[in-house]
Amino acid sequence: MKTSKFVLKAQRLSKQVTSPEGLLTILDRVDLEIRQGESVAIVGVSGAGKSTLLGLLAGLDVPSEGKIWLREQEITAMDEDGRAALRANHVGFVFQSFHLLSSLTALENVMLPLELAGAEHASDTALRALQNVGLEARRGHYPNQLSGGEKQRVAIARAFVVNPTVLFADEPTGNLDQRTGETIIDLLFRMNSESSTTLVLVTHDTVLASRCDRILHMDAGRIEREELPAYSDKPILMGS
């Protein structure tokens, strides 16, 4: 069930870096509003600024200009520790390269965000999350003992275990074969639907993008156009 409340909002967001060729603009005055429970795909060619936008929205980086609000809190006004605290409570991640910790078992990887947040009964909660992705039998296995699909399922369990407000996914099927990728997409959207999490994902995968409520096409650091998938009847909610 979608509401009209914006959970994520960006205003005139720019990111510039210094390069040997001079000042390089990676993001150029991007405006964006995402509602709670919405799923948004950010697509575009390499170098279009997709991952930079994702990093800024998640508070992993700071913009050169512009402001970002997450749950009505301006994260661009926070310091690194403040943004970390906000991420601990409201943000989950799924990465292309999984980013599971090699020295931790599957269960311990899922437990980690709970432990960082100081949650009680982290082990029980994490085990339930592993059951949700069908990997409770692999809880004692290390990442190097899991297949690519299994690693991503563990990563999804880890992302959802803290019930995040927003889930950011960076090319979640990028390292998987097509069949495994489809399984992961199904799992991601099923869990997103069950937990009413807002989903923001960066992808080249058109099948994955078409499952989202909105598709934002980026080029040269700007959102060039917004597309509603063929079967979607959601209204366009783009700031600029």
Stretch that binds another protein, among 40-48, 66-74, 106-114, 178-186 (CB under 8 A): 106-114
Least separation in angstroms between residue 116's CB and another protein is 5
DSSP secondary structure of 92-115: EEE-TT----TTS-HHHHHHHHHH
Least separation in angstroms between residue 97's CB and another protein is 8
* Rounded (10°) CA dihedral 8, 68, 24, 171: -30
- State the greatest distance between any 2 C-alpha atoms of the chain, in Å, as a whole number: 53
Chosen residue from 37, 44, 113, 172 binding another protein by CB under 8 A = 113
C-alpha span between 33 and 225 (Å, rounded) = 14
Residue position matching structure tokens 């096409």: 217
| Residue 117 is a binding residue for another protein (CB under 8 A) | yes
Chosen residue from 33, 61, 65, 182 binding another protein by CB under 8 A = 61
Chosen residue from 33, 65, 85, 227 binding another protein by CB under 8 A = 85
DSSP secondary structure of 50-84: HHHHHHHHTTSS--SEEEEEETTEEGGGS-HHHHH
Chosen residue from 31, 142, 195, 204 binding another protein by CB under 8 A = 142
Write out the residues near another protein by the rule CB under 8 A: 51, 54-55, 58, 60-61, 80-81, 84-89, 91, 93, 95, 97, 99, 101-104, 108, 112-113, 115-119, 122, 142, 170
